Amino acid sequence: MPTEVVTLKEAFGLLSTGIKNSDKVAIGTFWEFVRDVWSLSFERPELFRAWHVEFLCNELEETINEGTNYTAVLPRAHFKSTILGHAFAVWLLLRAKTDTRVLYLSYSDTMAKYHMSEINKEVARNPKISKWIRNEAPKADYTFRYRHANGSSLEIEHGGLFSFKRGMHVNGALIADDILKDPENPLNLSQINKIEEHFMTESMFIPNQGVPVVVMGTPMLPGDILAKLETDTRFKYRKLPAFDPVPGRKVLMPELYSEDWLLEQPLTAAATIGP
């Protein structure tokens, strides 16, 4: 039987096509990635099938595809950083065809470093992602610098809102995670106003034109930046409180927090998990 002969150029073309098709199947949509891949980094992957996880993944992807930024206001301990921060950053980078950089901002650089450490751990213990990309700074807990199988450099820079160096631009995304939260001291009204002014006049211009900005957090005071972004036409705004997030749902995440348990929490705890 005659053997089909292909040129070296054709062989590389076929190999390249196979890799691209494989990547599309493996990574998929943001929701498919979180459900089937990202969840494998955690002891209870079934929690990533929660209603609000799918809802947020689909809405965020639709929003950035439309060229709009995204704001999500959620209670604490409801996966907002894990999904909209960590998973979203890695998903964007895995889909990149060229060198890509994301900026992860928090109120302080200490908080941003914490997120970098968590993302590195989540990638390292993921049986799929750890095979797709190579860590180029394995001894640096707070550095996210990987090399994709296609040769692209994938980076997540981190910084505090006021300490991050000016003049840098990113082509992947700007993720602003809890920029209203100082773990060491409660913020007063003047500080919150200062955060708003700095973010809107400085941070918003770090991403290149057309690069998405994703803001997430838990409100601190009435009228803070999370509330004001609701009327900013550059953002799609989503608020999901712990109770009655949408018509027909009594509790946002019953897989973790029952209605009875939430109602039993003292006011101090309710403030951290409530709307």
Predicted local confidence at residue 183, as pLDDT: 59
- Domain-located, residue 269: no
Task: Identify the band that residue 186 occupies on the pLDDT scale cut at 50, 70 and 90.
Answer: low
- Domain-located, residue 72: yes
- Domain-located, residue 275: no
Tell me the percentage of the chain whose pLDDT exceeds 70: 85
| Mean pLDDT, residues 44-71 taken together | 96
What CATH number has the domain bearing residue 108?
A: 3.40.50
Q: Which domain holds residue 182?
A: 8-239+247-263
Q: What is the residue whose two structure tokens read 């820079």?
A: 157
Q: What is the residue whose two structure tokens read 């002969």?
A: 5
Per DSSP, which regions of the chain are E strands?
A: 69-73, 100-106, 133-135, 144-148, 153-160, 173-177, 213-217, 235-239
| Total domains, the chain | 1
- Domain-located, residue 118: yes
Model-level pTM? 0.86
Q: What is the residue whose two structure tokens read 């749902």?
A: 249
Evaluate if residue 58 carries a pLDDT over 80: yes
CA distances to 90, 95, 129, 133, 134 from 149, rounded to whole Å, are: 14, 11, 11, 6, 8
Residues 224-246: tens digit of each pLDDT: 899 899 999 999 999 998 888 88
**CA-to-CA distance for 150 and 202, rounded, in angstroms?**
33
Residues 72-119: tens digit of each pLDDT: 999 888 899 999 999 999 999 999 999 999 999 999 999 999 999 999
Residues 138-149: tens digit of each pLDDT: 888 899 999 998
Pick the range with the lowest mean pLDDT from 12-26, 132-146, 186-200: 12-26
Q: What is the residue whose two structure tokens read 């990309």?
A: 133
**CA-to-CA distance for 172 and 24, rounded, in angstroms?**
18
**CA-to-CA distance for 167 and 180, rounded, in angstroms?**
23
| Mean pLDDT, residues 246-267 taken together | 83
CA 107 to chain centre: 16
Predicted local confidence at residue 9, as pLDDT: 44
- Domain-located, residue 271: no
| Mean pLDDT, residues 211-230 taken together | 89
- Domain-located, residue 273: no
| Mean pLDDT, residues 47-62 taken together | 96
Evaluate if residue 160 carries a pLDDT over 90: yes
- Domain-located, residue 153: yes
| Mean pLDDT, residues 192-216 taken together | 93
- Domain-located, residue 103: yes
Evaluate if residue 272 carries a pLDDT over 60: no
